[in-house]
Amino acid sequence: MVYIRGRKGEKERRTEVKEERKPPERLDIDLEKLKKAYKDIEEANRQIRESHMEMILNLAIAAEYKDPDTGSHILRISDYAAEVARALGLAAEEVEILRYASPMHDIGKLGIPDKILQKPGKLDPDEWEIMKQHPLIGARIFQNSKSPLLRAASQIALSHHEQYDGNGYPSGLKGEDIPLFGRIVTMVDIFDAIVSKRCYKSAASFREGMDYVKSLSGTYLDPKLVDLFVRIEGKIKEIYEANTTIQQFLSEFGGEESLRDGG
């Protein structure tokens, strides 16, 4: 028989297997304590997540008030965007990331002078150039973030004024080169701007809002997303109607205000 170096005999291998299968030493684990520790960790995580979200929403509200728009706009954006993401079949985690990142699309307005944001008339070309910086400023605010949520917020802030046909800003990205989250937020931001009352215009009806979104298919907006938006019209209307009540309440107390850059 030829001896092959390194090859072990059957007996030797069986002994090794037996040794590997030695029963583990009994660990004295208190299952109840373990369950409680797990619950405590879960609760701590929930609290961290909640305060994280609260801080993010407050930041977004700060940017919107400076514009000045109201907090209700960003909450509606969040609901519409999450609904579109769900209908697209995105994973539940992605839907939640979009839900919480989308309200920060205009966070960069924190870096735009009030005299431009709150100018009652039209912006002159120089002022408009400054206004067009807000996506870059917004992206910069979150650019070094490690959390997927804030990275998404940075991406959305940067891309929510890009246009499907390449005529948007700041980069003139075209079609699917524009990140999906950015394309979704652009669409729901425009829809909400149209159906909301502003200091310079009354609110368009739900139907007019839907028709306006359809009219921008393939130019400003991604046609596939517009088709989807039309398909889930029932769900969009539910959010619209729920928020119409909030809007009516806010307008009685002087809440709904202006918005300048289309969303």
* Shortest reach from residue 45's CB to Fe ion, in Å: 30
* Shortest reach from residue 136's CB to Fe ion, in Å: 11
Stretch that binds Fe ion, among 48-56, 212-220, 244-252, 254-262 (CB under 5 A): 254-262
For residues 228 and 88, is the Cβ–Cβ distance under 8 A? Answer: yes
Residue closer to Fe ion, measured from CB, 40 or 129: 129
Q: Which of 164, 170, 178, 181 is nearest to 78 (CA)?
A: 181
Q: Rule CB under 5 A: is residue 256 a binding residue for Fe ion?
A: no
Site track for Fe ion across 132-171, x = CB under 5 A: ----------------------------------------
Q: Rule CB under 5 A: is residue 263 a binding residue for Fe ion?
A: yes
Name 201's bridge partners: 198
* 196 HSE (CA, 13 A, CB side): 31
Stretch that binds Fe ion, among 91-99, 100-108, 112-120, 143-151 (CB under 5 A): 100-108
* Shortest reach from residue 48's CB to Fe ion, in Å: 27
Q: Which of 128, 146, 126, 157 is nearest to 59 (CA)?
A: 157
Q: For residue 189, give the amino acid letter.
A: D
Residue closer to Fe ion, measured from CB, 257 or 261: 261
What is the size of the binding site for Fe ion (CB under 5 A)? 4
Stretch that binds Fe ion, among 20-28, 101-109, 121-129, 217-225 (CB under 5 A): 101-109
Stretch that binds Fe ion, among 25-33, 104-112, 141-149, 206-214 (CB under 5 A): 104-112
Supply the DSSP string of 83-147, one letter for each residue.
HHHHHTT--HHHHHHHHHHGGGTTGGGGGS-HHHHT-SSPPPHHHHHHHTTHHHHHHHHHTT--S
CA distance readout (Å), 225 to 98, 110, 115, 164: 15, 29, 35, 11
Of positions 79, 94, 189, 257, contacts Fe ion by CB under 5 A: 189
Of positions 79, 106, 162, 222, contacts Fe ion by CB under 5 A: 106
Residue closer to Fe ion, measured from CB, 61 or 85: 61
Name 217's bridge partners: 221
Instruction: State the sign of the Cα–Cα–Cα–Cα dihedral 224, 228, 230, 231.
Output: positive
- Count of residues making up the chain: 263
* Cα–Cα dist 220/223, whole Å: 9
Stretch that binds Fe ion, among 142-150, 169-177, 181-189, 225-233 (CB under 5 A): 181-189
Q: Rule CB under 5 A: is residue 67 a binding residue for Fe ion?
A: no
Residues of the shown chain interacting with Fe ion in the complex, contacts defined by CB under 5 A = 106, 189, 261, 263
